Amino acid sequence: MDSKLVKPFKSFSSFTRRDFLYRAAAVGGTGLLLNTMNAWGMGIGSTMSAPPALSGSGKGKKVLILGAGLAGLTAAYELGKLGYQCQILEARAFAGGRCQTARKGFSLTELGGEKQTCEFDEGHYINHGPWRIPLHHQSTLHYTKLFEVPLEVMVNDNDHSYVYSENAGPFAGKRMRIKEIKADMRGHVSELLAKSVKNNSLDQELTADDKRLLLDYLAHEGQLAGADLQYKGRTGRGFAVNPGAGLSPGPGKQSDPLGFKELLSSKLGNVYSAVQDFPMQNTMFQPVGGMDAIPKAFEKRVGKNIRYKSEVQTIRQNDKGVTVTYKDTATNKVSTISADYCLCAIPLSVLRQIDTDFSDKFKQAVASVAYAPVGKIGLQMKRRFWEEDDNIYGGHVLTDLKGINTISMPSYNFQKKKGVLLGYYQYQTAAIEISALSPKERAEFAVAAGQKIFPQYQDAFENAFSVAWHRVQYNLGGWAEWTDKTRAAAYPTLLEGEGRIMLAGEHLSYLTGWQAGAIESAWQQIAKIHERASA
Amino acid sequence: MDSKLVKPFKSFSSFTRRDFLYRAAAVGGTGLLLNTMNAWGMGIGSTMSAPPALSGSGKGKKVLILGAGLAGLTAAYELGKLGYQCQILEARAFAGGRCQTARKGFSLTELGGEKQTCEFDEGHYINHGPWRIPLHHQSTLHYTKLFEVPLEVMVNDNDHSYVYSENAGPFAGKRMRIKEIKADMRGHVSELLAKSVKNNSLDQELTADDKRLLLDYLAHEGQLAGADLQYKGRTGRGFAVNPGAGLSPGPGKQSDPLGFKELLSSKLGNVYSAVQDFPMQNTMFQPVGGMDAIPKAFEKRVGKNIRYKSEVQTIRQNDKGVTVTYKDTATNKVSTISADYCLCAIPLSVLRQIDTDFSDKFKQAVASVAYAPVGKIGLQMKRRFWEEDDNIYGGHVLTDLKGINTISMPSYNFQKKKGVLLGYYQYQTAAIEISALSPKERAEFAVAAGQKIFPQYQDAFENAFSVAWHRVQYNLGGWAEWTDKTRAAAYPTLLEGEGRIMLAGEHLSYLTGWQAGAIESAWQQIAKIHERASA
């Protein structure tokens, strides 16, 4: 891997605000965008909901597929249906690529790191790669349906959870319920606009009818009370005393809103979206038992065509076909395999280190795309304190704590004894810096940070499993990170492939970092192979 | 039952807007409040999360419990732990009261109606009583946890679903994605307020700092673009062409916002809440397999103390104890049972028809509380078209179609072949009028109405199961419907009980219509019995 990425760990003060706002531009917001972490993949659904309808036959033709991630698996499955003879070479001992689930016994050794073996209790896991299937990703959902992979709801939106920032002015260092911020900001802002409307200061914009309708809307949106349309709180922000039975608590006791000026100066009104961004909308799914249920379902169908522990060494082609040498990682024996065509679903971050006979232009394109440093950690807690004490069931704590970004509560095993939290989800320099720590130090870092939000953290913590994708062999990054410049310079070249070799993967889509990107890319690229093979 | 409630069915035009806005006042909004149906229970969470810690013993004392609904079951379980000898009389052949699940073979004969037997396919069901467990209802969640009733997420909020109104001005008769309305209203309104701020028309309210912070907030909330802070759409409203792989669709194509004036005159901005009302917030739960998993879990523990098919005929007490006669509904044999105390968890709507020796004041209190006419229908569809064609997974279609109110998509069996929709959820005169129809006619009504929103309805419809709670023997209504007047006049009297008889149930709470109301009421009332018995 690119060792320049792994800088020595410095102090937290060396983290820059830029890292944190890294993705802010993509979602068009300004200010403190705690929820940028929610934007991974950058605003994105998928439009293709079924594989391309290809006619003709691939009988008698061989396609060599490099990599058994979602793109490679999809290609093997669909090309197999057309009659192609597919062979997948996969460097790991299992399929799925980045789609992995860490559960008891799962092990990972990052480049230059110590071996981690997951010690979660039976029945607990963390999806340390992809963890969410948006409703808009009909391509991924095509296969979960076809293969009967049971899905459950992944709670991706939970206003009862907390936002925590140490830079939130009057609310700095205090955990706040997201719903309080949301209710009160919308209440105060609606009241302010109502005042403006009533004072006729918008008469140039609005007719009398518009004004009446707008005031009606604002009264509803902000839940403004009385003829003077004031915001005085609402049940949605929570009660001071919850209603119940009898006379006490009886109707309960309403809570008082936070002050408008305090809210404004805290900037916490900028942490949630007025409407969830496209890929983040309800309903969000996860496969029951772990995301790797998807590659496992593919393996059932195309597993016989996968040669595992086969690390690609060289790629060569001529006008007759493609020849690849690969090393068996168990025996170090190098073998050769040939095919009529090749679909290379290896991440560009890895492909650029492989010996190929691509043209200089193609090699340059492969080399030009950045890959995202990304880190995640699963923390097993001996008690689901977030449910028991805080009544938070799934969803995310939004925070700008450096190197944390989000703490996510599991959407499975509700009300059971133990649970595995996502302790951080990092990008860029934060991910690079934390990844330089040992697994034990990473866990200590995550627990110390989480302790600021949940005082139960330290006592409940049992064990951890972390990944730094930029340090994982055969991935070397979380996902392709395109810029306008590289999209213009390299993307069309890479899409075109070269000779008898086509590329596929999330990197050849606008759904980077999502399984749907890999699947839809495979759908497009196998259509091109089929077209060339049928010509 | 009260036959005055069942008026002959008239034409739809006789439905009044008042019915629809029936609950609007409770949530404080104005205008077209399609989501008032979401407010059932009226704004309400529960504050008690565990049964009262009672000391002492009930050994040697008998408590007779009338009704094996959630209140009666809770009382029997908790009093049993204290050593009381509890006997429950239950009129039905099963426990749960209104907490019922209709699945294959479940049958129901409403008063004066024909017998319905549920014909849903195996594995499908409708919770035609309570169907949601809010995170705030820690009392209900206390028992699901204690009894290890597995929960799954009930999708209660889905912006990708539709709103449909025939009174929505320019959007009348068109189904609209809720997210489009939400994104565009908040975008336009934010733009308008930003304009007002920039024009200095709010300078009396805001300092220069406030103005800067508010503009930042508005730019985020409305996703306003450019220096002139205009709203030009956002990904959260959906794409015209979704992004995907390759060059086409590649980045996809943004969609254009709806016009502000059209939105205002449609009033559709008033159908959702700025923040979900208290009981409706994420995370919402349902027991896996049906809500009746909760009474079944109680039955496992206290079932031996329940005498089923035992219809209470008379209730008498003196200073020594309570005597109740009941009829075995299988044999018509009348028997007598005595106990030291009685907890009566029979709905007031039924209790007022039973021969008791309550004081006139108490009888008057029992008689004074109105019960809500409520109707629900489950529609089995041979194809999950809402998922397959519309990509809606759970959640509700909000509508003001008379007698429909909501169509709700099931939050289980995602991606399976068939599914059971909630076809309507009616209150008040709509519920009364529709309930006068035969089961077959109700289904025809629901399918014809649903067809306006989903053209696939008629073709997909297979069979239905409906309930009109005001016509169900032993319930005679959905829930107690308190007014300020009856709360003042009757509530304290009923809470106090009389002599050796205490009442319990959702009707003695501010969580009417919720299981939590019944449970928390039981918790309070058994504490009073224990206090009296220990005195």
**Domain harbouring A231, CATH code:** 1.20.1440.240
CA dihedral B279, B283, B288, B293 (to 10 degrees): -30
The answer, for A266 touching chain B at a CB cutoff of 8 Å, is: no
The answer, for A237 touching chain B at a CB cutoff of 8 Å, is: yes
Same domain as B508, residue B430: no
pLDDT at B28: 31
Q: Is residue B149 part of a domain?
A: no
In angstroms, what is the C-alpha Rg of chain A?
Answer: 26
Q: Is residue B355 part of a domain?
A: yes
The answer, for A35 touching chain B at a CB cutoff of 8 Å, is: no
8 A C-beta contact, residue A274 and residue B150: no
User: Structural domain tally of chain B?
Assistant: 3
Q: Which two tokens stand for residue A376?
A: 């995640």
3-state helix, strand, coil in chain B (%, to 5): 35, 20, 45
Cβ-based contacts of B138 with chain A (< 8 Å): 391
In this complex, the residue of B192, B225, B492 whose CB is nearest that of residue A28 is B225
What residues of chain A score a pLDDT lower than 50?
1-45
Same domain as B501, residue B355: yes
CA dihedral A423, A428, A433, A438 (to 10 degrees): 50
The answer, for A394 touching chain B at a CB cutoff of 8 Å, is: yes
What's the rounded Cα separation, in Å, for the pair A29 and B137? 36
A209–B520 CB contact, under 8 Å: no
Indicate if the pLDDT at residue B284 is higher than 70.
Answer: yes
Residue A126 carries which side chain, given as an amino acid letter?
I
The answer, for A414 touching chain B at a CB cutoff of 8 Å, is: yes
Sequence-distant (6+) residues with CB within 8 A of A510 are: A42, A44, A517, B243, B244, B245, B249, B250, B251, B252
Largest CA distance in chain A: 86
Same domain as A464, residue A383: yes
pLDDT at B183: 97
What string of H, E and C letters represents the secondary structure of A336-394?
Answer: EEEECEEEECCCHHHHCCCEECCCHHHHHHHHHCEECCEEEEEEEECCCHHHHCCCCCC
User: Which site among A220, A264, A387 would you substitute to test the B interface, given the most B Cβ atoms closer than 10 Å to its Cβ?
Assistant: A220
What's the rounded Cα separation, in Å, for the pair B453 and B235? 24
pLDDT at A203: 83
Give B10's pLDDT tier (boundaries 50, 70, 90): very low
Residue B421 carries which side chain, given as an amino acid letter?
L
Quote the minimal CA–CA distance from A416 to chain B in Å. Answer: 8
Give B231's pLDDT tier (boundaries 50, 70, 90): very high
B277–A216 CB contact, under 8 Å: no
What Å distances lie between residue B424 and B40, B374, B401, B428, CA to CA? 14, 10, 10, 13
Q: Is residue B311 part of a domain?
A: yes
The answer, for B170 touching chain A at a CB cutoff of 8 Å, is: no
Same domain as B121, residue B92: no
The answer, for B208 touching chain A at a CB cutoff of 8 Å, is: no
Quote the minimal CA–CA distance from B188 to chain A in Å. Answer: 11
Provide the CA B412 distance to its chain's centre, in angstroms: 18
Quote the minimal CA–CA distance from A215 to chain B in Å. Answer: 10
The answer, for A71 touching chain B at a CB cutoff of 8 Å, is: no
Range with lowest mean pLDDT among B38-52, B208-222, B432-446 = B38-52
Cβ-based contacts of A153 with chain B (< 8 Å): 152-153, 155, 394, 411
Cβ-based contacts of B236 with chain A (< 8 Å): 273-278, 281
B235–A509 CB contact, under 8 Å: no
The answer, for B286 touching chain A at a CB cutoff of 8 Å, is: no
pLDDT at B29: 32
pLDDT at B203: 83
The answer, for A528 touching chain B at a CB cutoff of 8 Å, is: no
Q: Is residue A146 part of a domain?
A: no
Which parts of A230-308 fold into alpha helices (H)?
260-266, 293-302
Q: Is residue A235 part of a domain?
A: yes
pLDDT at B39: 30
What's the rounded Cα separation, in Å, for the pair A155 and A226? 36
A509–B244 CB contact, under 8 Å: yes
8 A C-beta contact, residue B155 and residue A282: yes
Same domain as B492, residue B528: yes
8 A C-beta contact, residue B239 and residue A278: yes
ipTM computed for the complex: 0.91
8 A C-beta contact, residue A325 and residue A450: no
What is the sign of the dihedral through the CA atoms of A449, A453, A459 and A465? negative
Residue by residue, DSSP assigns B492-507 as: HHHHH-BTTEEE-SGG
Quote the minimal CA–CA distance from B400 to chain A in Å. Answer: 17
Residue A494 carries which side chain, given as an amino acid letter?
L
Same domain as A378, residue A471: yes
How many Cα atoms are found within 13 Å in the side-chain-facing hemisphere of A453?
Answer: 29
Same domain as B111, residue B16: yes
User: What's the pLDDT tens digit per position in B133-174?
Assistant: 999 999 999 999 999 999 999 999 999 999 999 999 999 999
Which parts of B29-177 fold into alpha helices (H)?
70-81, 138-146
Q: What's A511's domain CATH number? A: 3.50.50.60
Name the residue among A370, A267, A355, A261 with its Cα closest to residue A311.
Answer: A355
Q: Is residue B190 part of a domain?
A: yes
Give B535's pLDDT tier (boundaries 50, 70, 90): confident
CA dihedral B345, B347, B348, B354 (to 10 degrees): -80
Contacts 24+ apart (CB under 8 A), A317-325: A317/A342, A317/A357, A317/A498, A317/A499, A317/A500, A317/A501, A319/A499, A321/A62, A321/A500, A322/A64, A322/A499, A322/A500, A322/A501, A324/A64, A324/A66, A324/A89
Cβ-based contacts of A192 with chain B (< 8 Å): 193, 202, 205, 214
Chain B residue closest in CA terms to A387: B135
Domain that holds residue B328: 62-99+290-368+481-534
B153–A158 CB contact, under 8 Å: no
Average pLDDT (B339-345) is: 98
pLDDT at A259: 98
Q: What's A431's domain CATH number? A: 3.90.660.10
The answer, for B240 touching chain A at a CB cutoff of 8 Å, is: no
What Å distances lie between residue B338 and B66, B314, B497, CA to CA? 12, 12, 18
What's the rounded Cα separation, in Å, for the pair B217 and A267? 7
Same domain as A508, residue A380: no
Sequence-distant (6+) residues with CB within 8 A of B435 are: B6, B110, B373, B375, B442, B468, B470, B471
The answer, for A200 touching chain B at a CB cutoff of 8 Å, is: no
In this complex, the residue of B29, B159, B218 whose CB is nearest that of residue A219 is B29
A415–B141 CB contact, under 8 Å: yes
Q: Which of residues 293-332 of B touch A (CB under 8 A)?
A: none
In this complex, the residue of B44, B210, B247 whose CB is nearest that of residue A264 is B210
Sequence-distant (6+) residues with CB within 8 A of A17 are: none
What's the rounded Cα separation, in Å, for the pair A395 and B372? 35
The answer, for A201 touching chain B at a CB cutoff of 8 Å, is: yes
pLDDT at A3: 30
B209–A265 CB contact, under 8 Å: yes
Flag whether the pTM goes above 0.90. yes
Cβ-based contacts of A27 with chain B (< 8 Å): 223, 235
Chain B residue closest in CA terms to A251: B510
The answer, for A285 touching chain B at a CB cutoff of 8 Å, is: yes
Same domain as A321, residue A441: no
What string of H, E and C letters represents the secondary structure of A112-127?
Answer: CCCEEECCCCCCCCEC
Angle of CA points A62, A67, A71, to nearest 5° = 85
A246–B521 CB contact, under 8 Å: yes
Same domain as B10, residue B75: no
The answer, for B101 touching chain A at a CB cutoff of 8 Å, is: no
Q: Is residue A182 part of a domain?
A: yes
B282–A158 CB contact, under 8 Å: yes
8 A C-beta contact, residue A521 and residue A513: no
Indicate if the pLDDT at residue B33 is higher than 70.
Answer: no
A278–B239 CB contact, under 8 Å: yes
Annotate B285-298 with b (16+ C-beta within 10 A) or e (fewer).
Answer: bbbebbbbbbbbbb
Average pLDDT (B327-334) is: 98
Quote the minimal CA–CA distance from B71 to chain A in Å. Answer: 12
Same domain as B506, residue B363: yes
A153–B158 CB contact, under 8 Å: no
Mapped onto helix, strand or coil, the DSSP state of residue A111 is coil
What's the rounded Cα separation, in Å, for the pair B117 and B351? 28
Annotate B309-344 with b (16+ C-beta within 10 A) or e (fewer).
Answer: bbbbeebbbeeebbbbebbeeeeeeeeebebbbbbb
Return the DSSP state at B36.
Answer: G
Angle of CA points A438, A442, A444, to nearest 5° = 115
What's the rounded Cα separation, in Å, for the pair A70 and A295? 7
Sequence-distant (6+) residues with CB within 8 A of B273 are: A236, B27, B35, B38, B280
Q: Is residue B212 part of a domain?
A: yes
Same domain as A192, residue A106: no
